[in-house]
Amino acid sequence: MSLRLPDPGSFEDLIRPTRIEVASLMRLSRHPAAEPYWSAGVYRFDDPDPGGADAFGTCYTASTIEVAFAESVIHECGRFVRGGYEVPVAELTERSVVRFTCDRRKTLLLADMTGAALKALGLNNDISASADYRVSQAWARAIHGASARWDGVRYVSRQMYNGFAYAIFERSGLRKLRAEKLKARQVDDLCDRFNVTAV
């Protein structure tokens, strides 16, 4: 059975909120000077109509460095070969841990698309796991348009199902606080944990 679409009037009052500390958000970026990076029309909770008059960008962040590593480095750059992942050296050595801030507030209000909150919307975790982004993008646009109070979406990481990922809307005011190069020890630990070899 396919996921339902967000028909107007069928979901707005069912969205359950969750508050997230801005200081807890992170990204692993090869281009820290360009952060936050706002995507549209490409990824899971992007605006499906980036050319529209009410278009918005989305920045993808994670709850932990492990989730960020699984979602960005392994998912985007890794190749599973002979029982392990191969990742280009540059993808490991040129990453920075980016942290964020927002002017005048320490938390963001997100639409919770996990657990019971997700089920209450009449959905299941295919919203976070499907390789077809059309439905999840439709939900992102519907949530963005439902109320200006929503700063984004919390969802289960597809690449590391016991962690959360966050799709933050551009209107949230998210901005880069600092970026620190991923340390060699951190790279080694992450590679050991996820069975990754640099190539």
Domain ranges of the chain: 12-198
**What pLDDT is attached to residue 42?**
95
Please write the tens of the pLDDT for every residue from 48-68: 999 888 999 999 999 999 999
Q: Helix H segments across the chain? A: 65-68, 75-77, 89-93, 115-120, 126-129, 134-146, 184-194
Mean of pLDDT over the chain: 95
pLDDT higher at 104 or 175 = 175
Residue 2 is classified by DSSP as: P
Q: Per the structure block, which two tokens stand in for 110?
A: 């997100």
Q: How far apart are CA 49 and CA 144, in angstroms?
A: 12
- Amino acid 2: pLDDT: 83
Please say if the pLDDT value at position 16 is more than 80. yes
* 3-class DSSP assignment, residue 8: coil
Nearest residue to 138 (alpha-carbon basis) of 49, 199, 62, 67: 49
Mean pLDDT over 112-130 rounds to 96
Q: Which whole-number Å values give the CA distances from 187 to 51, 66, 155, 194, in the listed order?
A: 38, 11, 25, 11
Contacts of residue 49, Cβ cutoff 8 Å, sequence gap at least 6: 41, 55, 141
pLDDT of residue 146: 97
| DSSP string across 104-137 | T-SEEEEEEESHHHHHHTT--THHHH-S--HHHH
Q: Identify which has the larger pLDDT, 1 or 63.
A: 63
**Partners of 166 in the β-ladder:** 61, 154
Q: Rounded mean pLDDT of 3-11? A: 94
pLDDT digits (tens, 9 = 90+) for 148-159: 999 999 999 999
pLDDT of residue 177 exceeding 80, the answer is: yes
- Identify the CA nearest to 74 among candidates 59, 88, 58: 88
> Between 1 and 36, whose confidence is greater?
36
- Buried b vs exposed e over 164-188: b needs ≥16 C-beta within 10 Å? bbbbbbbebbbebeebeebeeebbe
On the question of pLDDT at 1 being above 80, the answer is no
User: For the whole model, what pTM was predicted?
Assistant: 0.95
Q: What are phi and psi of 136, to 5 degrees?
A: -65, -35
**Residue 104 in this model has a pLDDT that exceeds 90:** no
Phi and psi at residue 54, to the nearest 5°: -110, 35
